[in-house]
Structure 1
Amino acid sequence: MTAFVLVSGGYTGGWLWRDVAERLRGSGAEAQAVTLTGLGDRRHLAGPGVDLETHIEDVVQTIDHVEADEVVLVGYCYGIYPSAGAADRRPDRIARLVHLDSPLPQDGYSMLDQVRELMPPSPARERTLGMPERAEDGWRIPAPTRAEWLENGNLAGVSPEALDRLARLSSPMPLGPCTQKLRISEKVAALATTGIFCTTGGTADIAALEALVASGLPMVQHLTDPRATFFELATGHWPMLSVPDELSGVLLSAAAGEGRRLGTA
């Protein structure tokens, strides 16, 4: 049996995966949605000491408690950072690491480092870089309001009801996980991977990645590995809310090693 370990991004929790997890289980797979410390229904555990290592350990513990032989680890948005850290610690358990509309984490960089150095200028970039200034008591970033989600969240395809749920259940985000530098080894790049791009309102797609590979950019050359596959979803940044059926199908296809492959540079 394949087990999907689903790791959400900032301000959210395991509840975000409800519809997708239900569909994956209906297909016969196991699905475990991780709620990171200080978020979701674990928001009461938030504090200034919560950092990226805390969240990596959350994911590691979930992997350790899965009995399935194959673990497909899915990191969404910020969630790819603790997912990559956990994959580095448990590479023998990971059949595939899935980047769901997320960056490509680099050793020695924090999430904010990568946004600062690699994200093109945009209001979203400036808002993300402003997280430390918005942090209450120096460590807790308030959750976006419904209006802020609408303005900045790339919610294409999300119903008003799902938006209401997002706004109601969003929790403050500890700052520490966003500023602590990730430490990973080459074991992560050696894993089978899948990238899923959400192309409506997004800034990246398969064609853009192919151009980066062709340019010779070192950090993406390992993605020409035949085990690296890619998909596109014509939706906004929240596919688990906007297109849960399509996302579940793509995750099952990714677990089977399907998807588009890149040519060599």
Structure 2
Amino acid sequence: MTTFLLVPGLFMGGWAWEAVAAELTAQGHRALPVTLPGMAERAEEDPVGVGLREHTDAVAELLDTEGPGIVLVAHSYGIFPALAAADRHPGQVARVVFVDTGFPEPGESVAAQMPQLGLPDHALDGLVPVPEEIPAVHAVPPSELERYHRLATPQPVRTVTEPIELTGAWLKLPTTGVFCLANGLSLEFARTLHGTGLPRFAKLADPAVTFFELATGHYPMLSTPVELADVLMRAAAGEGVGLYED
């Protein structure tokens, strides 16, 4: 049995992982969807006062409580608090799984890594509003789209402007990247990044790093939860392809 700690992306709570968690549980594993402070059912916890540090502390506390041997799964923004927590407590983590996201550099913020989103510019009273729509390219079915708009909550702006604290300890952890092809991430793109020779992309070719590709958009926990759960179980077993494998 493997314990999966599931950290959501922007605007979402643990609810986003319900279908994935159900499939993992049905296959005999333990799944722990995370709702970060100030989000979803925790939105009453002074969301304006919540920053990346508070989100990191929440994940780190769960690692302390539930580890060692956790497979730490993070979608999109969730990699920031998840990776910072894993960097603090690498002995609690068996593998980090990046779901349609990259890894930040020490001192980098979400806003700095993804300036094209303009997240701080959209903030009102310390919160980034939930986007009005999820484009059709992401293949989220109507029922899940309705649920997203009903349950999604504004994102505390400090979570995307505060820099991540990393020592580099996480770099020694086995990792798996799950690319969602309709969102533009792929093995081919990762090879291009590694081919630049920039030090930040060196880990992509590490023998302990594996990859999977899913033929869906940026929200696979909503669009293809069974397929995503299967990939997570395979990742936990060390499966996947290396950067330059066919």
Structures share a fold, TM > 0.5? yes
Corresponding residue for residue 38 of structure 1: 38
Corresponding residue for residue 189 of structure 1: 171
Asked whether 1:143 is paired with 2:130, we answer yes
Give the one of 219, 227, 232 matched to 2:200: 219
SS of 1:5's equivalent in the other structure is strand
Corresponding residue for residue 6 of structure 2: 6
SS of 1:149's equivalent in the other structure is coil
Give the one of 200, 205, 210 matched to 2:186: 205
Please list, as runs of the form range in 1=range in 2, the aligned pairs for 1:143-162 lying within 5 A after superposition: 143-144=130-131, 148-151=132-135, 156-162=138-144
Asked whether 1:234 is paired with 2:215, we answer yes
Measured against aligned partners, the alpha-carbon deviations of 1:199-239 in whole angstroms (never above 9, x if no partner) come to 01x12210111122223121111221211000000001110
CA distance in 2, matches of 1:219, 1:57: 25
Q: Which runs of 5+ in 1 are unaligned?
A: 117-124
Which sits farther off after the overlay, 211-220 or 83-92? 211-220
Q: CA deviation at 1:48?
A: 2.9
Give the aligned CA root-mean-square deviation in angstroms: 1.5
SS of 1:11's equivalent in the other structure is coil
Corresponding residue for residue 17 of structure 1: 17
**Could you tell me whether the CA contact under 8 Å between 2:70 and 2:93 is conserved in 1?**
yes
Please list, as runs of the form range in 1=range in 2, the aligned pairs for 1:73-222 lying within 5 A after superposition: 73-116=72-115, 125=116, 128-129=117-118, 131-137=119-125, 139-144=126-131, 148-151=132-135, 156-200=138-182, 202-222=183-203
**Could you tell me whether the CA contact under 8 Å between 1:97 and 1:192 is conserved in 2?**
yes
Q: CA deviation at 1:157?
A: 2.2
Q: CA deviation at 1:132?
A: 2.2
Task: Give the number of aligned pairs.
Answer: 245
**Could you tell me whether the CA contact under 8 Å between 2:139 and 2:217 is conserved in 1?**
yes
CA distance in 1, matches of 2:216, 2:64: 33
Structure 2-normalised TM-score? 0.95
Give the one of 213, 217, 234 matched to 1:253: 234
Determine what percentage of the aligned residue pairs are the same residue. 40
CA distance in 2, matches of 1:24, 1:108: 34
Distance 1:241 1:190, change over 3 A: same
CA distance in 2, matches of 1:171, 1:103: 23
Q: Which runs of 5+ in 2 are unaligned?
A: none
CA distance in 1, matches of 2:39, 2:198: 35
CA distance in 1, matches of 2:134, 2:50: 28
